[in-house]
Amino acid sequence: MSTPAAPPRPRALLLESIHDDAAFTLREAGFDVERVAGALDENDLVAALDGVAVLGLRSNTMMTARAVQAAGSLVAAGAFCIGTNQIDLAACSAAGVAVFNAPFSNTRSVVELALSEIIALTRRLTDKNAAMHTGVWDKSAAGSHEVRGRRLGIVGYGNIGSQLSVLAEALGMSVLFYDSADKLALGNARRCGTLEELLAEADVVSLHVDGREGNNDLFGAEQFARMRAGSIFLNLSRGFVVDHSALRSHVLSVHLAGAAVDVFPVVPRTKGEPFVSELRGLPNVILTPHVGGSTEEAQQDIGAFVAGKLRDYAHAGTSSLSVNLPTVSLPATPGTQRLLLLHRNTPGVLASVNGLLAEHGINVEAQVLGTRGPLGYVVTDVAEADDVVPALRAMPETVRLRVLR
């Protein structure tokens, strides 16, 4: 007698040279993984998504509404980066496709770059290095300082700002911070009630705010003027937050002793295109091409983190840290089947679901509901789901129903 064929393995498609650890995690989880080195344009993406359950992409593949709508078997998409602007999130929500990203994986890399720049600028290493390369031996200590005992003012005390706070204190700096939201001060850090208070006290000001619209030109001539004479300025957050011509004037007037900038309002769109900025050529100014989060360690962490999210959503329906779905996580109930229902967020859906289960004589072993904007998500463990599936699928509020056996 022949043994029945094993069910086909679900397919995962990973684009844009995503780290090997992602493919490893998904293969371990039972996926057939196909990898593509580059990005795909819309037509190629539509063709490639046929039969794919899980997609991984980075920032160069545009996941348009057309691509989402054409991808009938797609359950989840992972942005193996921080931003998700390349993904049409509304289309994904409407189709019941979960989207994940890696919001924390490169925070340590940004913090280490900021710390290295604080030390380099405070010691004027940029000037010493430039002079040595032109044959000038300048052994003077003038203008070079230790960071120990200096005051670091962190603007934006989120994932990055708060981690910078801890490591800067370990170096002997005293930390002040200003955040528009209520944030717990870590270690001996001191919260400032206003940005002005921070600017008046800090020897180093480092921006780590998020990209909300209101932060456009947050930092301009007025804020630079309020900084202490001889202080240092860093921006590794977003380019549009800082007025670069005001920064240039305050470096040239030596009101600021130095600056480090990793993010710019306008950047070259292609490799070869020159980098244009009024900050080029300034003394004791470190310019880096948005590499704050770009380390091999961060890429590896992103690979494992996002692949883990895709696996947990595909296999258990766990949507923690999804960009677009309600957050739901339910521990497995042994010996049950799991119903994963994404539905329009209107009153009474949970009652309808449980009414249908009761009508079919199905007992609920465990259940959890979450809602977010237009979507609701209810996960239910039952002993045997098959009888009720057509009725749940036919509910007018149903966006997508999956059954895990």
Residues that bind ligand NAD (CB under 6 A): 82, 106-107, 110, 155-161, 178-181, 183, 208-212, 215, 218, 236-238, 262-263, 290, 292-293
Indicate the residue among 19 and 128 with the shorter CB distance to ligand NAD. 19
Shortest distance (Å) from residue 199 CB to ligand NAD: 12
Q: Tell me if 330 sits within 8 A of 320, measured CB to CB.
A: no
Indicate the residue among 31 and 178 with the shorter CB distance to ligand NAD. 178
- Burial class of residue 271 in the structure, from the number of CB atoms within 10 Å of its CB (0-12 exposed, 13-18 middle, 19+ buried): exposed
Indicate the residue among 232 and 302 with the shorter CB distance to ligand NAD. 302
β-pairing verdict for 337-344 and 231-235: unpaired
State the residue number with the nearest CB to ligand NAD.
158
What is the radius of gyration, based on Cα positions, of the chain?
Answer: 26
Shortest distance (Å) from residue 266 CB to ligand NAD: 16
Shortest distance (Å) from residue 319 CB to ligand NAD: 20
Q: Tell me if 256 sits within 8 A of 227, measured CB to CB.
A: yes
Cα 94 to chain center, whole Å?
A: 22
Shortest distance (Å) from residue 196 CB to ligand NAD: 12
Indicate the residue among 36 and 236 with the shorter CB distance to ligand NAD. 236
Indicate the residue among 216 and 253 with the shorter CB distance to ligand NAD. 216
Shortest distance (Å) from residue 160 CB to ligand NAD: 3
Indicate the residue among 291 and 394 with the shorter CB distance to ligand NAD. 291
Q: Please give the backbone phi and psi of residue 193, each rounded to the nearest 5 degrees, phi first.
A: -75, -25
Indicate the residue among 82 and 330 with the shorter CB distance to ligand NAD. 82
Indicate the residue among 236 and 401 with the shorter CB distance to ligand NAD. 236
Indicate the residue among 48 and 195 with the shorter CB distance to ligand NAD. 195
Spatial CB neighbours of 39, under 8 Å, sequence gap ≥ 6:
15, 16, 57, 58, 60, 61
Shortest distance (Å) from residue 183 CB to ligand NAD: 6
42 vs 45, 65, 70, 96, CA distance in Å?
5, 10, 11, 20
CA distance 315 to 330: 12
Structure tokens at 163: 């981690």
Shortest distance (Å) from residue 124 CB to ligand NAD: 23
Shortest distance (Å) from residue 117 CB to ligand NAD: 11
Helix count and strand count (H, E) for the chain: 13, 16
Q: Tell me if 98 sits within 8 A of 370, measured CB to CB.
A: no
Decide: helix, strand or coil at residue 22: helix
Shortest distance (Å) from residue 152 CB to ligand NAD: 15
Per-residue H/E/C for 239-291:
HHHECHHHHHHHHHCCCEEEEEECCCCCCCCCCCCCCCCCCCCCCCEEECCCC
Indicate the residue among 236 and 242 with the shorter CB distance to ligand NAD. 236
Shortest distance (Å) from residue 55 CB to ligand NAD: 23
Element (H, E) at 95: helix 89-95
Starting at the edge strand found earlier in the chain, the sheet holding 375-382 runs: 364-372, 375-382, 337-344, 398-404
∠ Cα 326 332 338 (to 5°):
70
